[in-house]
Amino acid sequence: MEVSITPYRDGPYLLRGPFTLRDQDGVAIANSRRVVALCRCGKSRTRPFCDGTHRLIDFHAPSGLESSLDSSVEDEGQNGD
């Protein structure tokens, strides 16, 4: 099974497949889940994992590739916390 990373609209990245999370020193980050949600809004208190905080700060981001030419998407991307 290949590893896939899915950014969910206004939410985290879901990571599926056989993966190992390591910090920059190569030390494995403990995780017992097959699927994990990685923080995308930057405000989780359990980074690198998501803890749902994006909902409190009104985080917006598209699921697919963000186009820098599309100003309405860029405006939504500012969560202004």
Pairing between β-strand 13-16 and β-strand 35-38 as defined by DSSP bridges: antiparallel
CA distance 29 to 5: 17
Stretch that binds another protein, among 17-25, 50-58, 70-78 (CB under 8 A): 50-58
Structure tokens of 79? 């969560």
Q: Which of 20, 27, 33, 69 binds another protein (CB under 8 A)?
A: 33
The verdict on 41 binding another protein (CB under 8 A) reads no
Could you tell me the smallest distance in angstroms from the CB atom of residue 66 to another protein?
A: 16
- In degrees and rounded to multiples of 5, residue 13 shows phi and psi of -90, 130
Q: Which of 55, 57, 67, 81 binds another protein (CB under 8 A)?
A: 55
Instruction: Classify 72 as helix, strand or coil.
Output: helix
Q: Which residues of this protein are in contact with another protein, per CB under 8 A?
A: 8-12, 14, 33-37, 45-46, 49-53, 55-56, 58, 63
